[in-house]
Amino acid sequence: MSSSLTPAIDQLVRCLRYLPGVGAKSATRMALNLLERDQGRAADLAIAISDALTRVRRCSRCQNFCEADLCSICESPKRDDRVLCVVESPTDVLAIEQTSDYSGRYFVLMGHLSPIDGIGPEDIGVDKLKQLLQESAVSELILATNPTVEGEATAHFIAHIAKDLNIPVSRIAHGIPLGGELGMIDSGTLSHALQGRKPFA
């Protein structure tokens, strides 16, 4: 579908297509809707995106999104320092937090190992994770990467590092569909998976 109303609208449509799951048709519909009916909200959206880009950064400890040096979870004195859960994205942190079963801390890789895309250990903060494991009193590392080929490979890679440091490693278990993503799973299933975690070889 070609959109050729004005160059600015074309540009807006191109940008909206960066969003996951948005094709040419829905991007055009969104753009026209914002301009036709919702100019106030369109302005709010532009400001919100610009604000988020300026204010949001990565937590210096766990790599999760935050607006200060540390995120609210790393800053909380109520969390258990002995348990560290490694996830691929901030969406996974939100999903696990919704289960209310987990009181440990997190490390957010912001991705997974993917040699084919040129994503290596340094791109997902493995050095930082290793340093964190060396400096803190972690007695259990939970690998909650996605059950995809890349997620499993990433879990194995990190498990080796933890093993070298004599830190017991577990992997979340039941009910996570192969190829699935944590953020898409209902909190009951995820809660069960977290409780049913198994030692990871």
Task: Say whether residue 108 binds Zn ion (CB under 5 A).
Answer: no
Q: Distances from the Cα of 11 to the Cαs of 116, 124, 141, 154, in angstroms?
A: 30, 31, 45, 37
Do 27 and 36 touch, CB atoms closer than 8 A?
no
CB of 137 to Zn ion, least distance (A): 16
Does residue 84 touch Zn ion according to CB under 5 A? Answer: no
Q: Which residue in 59, 124, 144, 190 binds Zn ion (CB under 5 A)?
A: 59
- Side-chain-side CA neighbours of residue 77 (13 Å): 0
| Smallest gap from residue 86 Cβ to Zn ion (A) | 13
Q: Which amino acid is present at 126?
A: V
* Two structure tokens written together for 53: 């880009």
Establish if 86 lies at the interface with Zn ion (CB under 5 A). no
In the complex, minimum distance from the CB of residue 132 to Zn ion, in angstroms, rounded to a whole number: 10
Q: Residue 104 forms beta bridges with which residues?
A: 80
96 binds Zn ion (CB under 5 A): no
Beta bridge partners of 140: 83
Instruction: Establish if 61 lies at the interface with Zn ion (CB under 5 A).
Output: yes
Task: Build a one-symbol-per-residue string for 63-82: x at contacts with Zn ion by CB under 5 A, - elsewhere.
Answer: -x------x--x--------
Interaction site with Zn ion (CB under 5 A): 59, 61-62, 64, 71, 74
